């Protein structure tokens, strides 16, 4: 595998990423003239009835920009690791790749692997930092760029940036977009100095670390009798997955998906819903269709 960045000679990097948020950071880097020599992403996945293979958003971006793309079934594959072993790469940039890179791979670039994390570390390590910050009503929002090691979100912090958010609370999608823009710009600022050895990573205070979990289906349940503001935080935080509540109708419990809501004067106002088996409608329309004794 020949990895030589013919576009930008001062930083020769490989980008690891998979979903749309990674593309948003790629775009910021690209606009600033930082072109990855290679993109590594997950394999194409089958979708739909015909199980047709679809590329990841990062692969689509790479193809559109004529950038080589690798899709190993596993980053621990010996053949994949062997190809990287002889490469001269300054640094890896890792954004939502979906797998922890093994020690052998992390040792390949001369300046290590930089990972974008969506919180001010050591707070909110783990799988759902954006959602967890909103759920916790924590308005001290920001991003960190850290040096990857073999533990999740554990390495030294190279740079941090607070990202003020107003109005609050945003949806997770809105917050992530703000983070991606900030992270892309921060990478552009620090990459030359990091590769030149002018920046030192600072170890995290592991005693202060907090951890987030994967979002489960039960986490998305909204109990309308619960605290209105906490329910609103949940709706905003988990909007990408979709929150829902149950309601009794003609001795049957039906599930109602929440598409949007507002919080005004201490009250939760649900505005758009998708009742089970029906199309999206206003919440008022849904309530009008219920029997009077529901």
Does 181 score more than 60 pLDDT? yes
Q: State the architecture of 217-288 in CATH terms.
A: Roll (3.10)
The residue among 93, 110, 84, 72 whose CA lies nearest residue 26 is 93
Q: What is the mean pLDDT of residues 207-224?
A: 95
Contacts within 8 Å (CB) and 24+ apart, 259-265: 260/235, 261/232, 261/235, 262/232, 263/228, 263/229, 263/232
Residues 6+ apart with CB under 8 A from 292: none
Task: Look up the pTM and report it.
Answer: 0.89
- State residue 179's pLDDT score: 97
> Domain limits of the chain?
13-211, 217-288
Q: Please state which CATH number belongs to domain 13-211.
A: 3.40.50.170
- CB-based contact 239:172 (threshold 8 Å): yes
The residue among 115, 114, 117 whose CA lies nearest residue 125 is 117
- Which of 76-85, 90-99, 120-129, 174-183 has the weakest average pLDDT? 76-85
- State residue 292's pLDDT score: 64
Paired residues of 125 in beta bridges: 211
């Amino acid at each position: 595998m020949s990895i030589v960045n013919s576009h930008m000679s001062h930083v020769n990097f490989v980008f690891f990423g998979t979903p749309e948020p990674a593309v948003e950071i790629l775009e910021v880097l690209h606009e600033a003239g930082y072109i990855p020599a290679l993109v590594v992403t997950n394999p194409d996945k089958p979708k739909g009835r015909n199980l047709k293979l679809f590329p990841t958003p990062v692969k689509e971006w790479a193809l559109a920009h004529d950038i080589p793309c690798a899709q190993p079934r596993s980053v621990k594959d010996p053949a994949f690791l062997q190809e990287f072993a002889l490469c001269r790469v300054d640094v890896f940039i890792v954004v939502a790749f979906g797998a922890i890179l093994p020690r052998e791979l992390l040792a390949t670039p001369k300046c290590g692997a930089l990972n974008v994390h969506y919180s001010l570390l050591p707070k909110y390590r783990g799988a759902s930092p954006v959602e967890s910050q909103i759920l916790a009503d924590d308005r001290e929002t920001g991003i960190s760029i850290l040096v990857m090691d073999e533990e999740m979100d554990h390495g030294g912090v190279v740079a941090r940036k607070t990202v003020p958010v107003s109005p609050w609370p945003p949806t997770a999608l809105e917050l992530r977009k703000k983070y991606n823009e900030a992270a892309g710009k921060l990478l552009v600022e620090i990459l030359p100095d990091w590769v030149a050895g002018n920046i030192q990573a600072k170890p995290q205070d592991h005693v202060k670390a907090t951890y987030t979990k994967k979002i489960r289906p039960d986490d998305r349940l909204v109990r309308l009798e619960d605290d209105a503001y906490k329910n609103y935080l949940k709706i905003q935080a988990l909007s990408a997955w979709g929150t829902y509540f149950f309601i009794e109708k003609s001795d049957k419990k039906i599930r109602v998906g929440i598409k949007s809501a507002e919080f005004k004067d201490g009250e939760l106002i649900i505005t758009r819903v998708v009742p089970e088996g029906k199309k999206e409608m206003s919440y008022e329309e849904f309530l009008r269709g219920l029997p009077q004794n529901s």
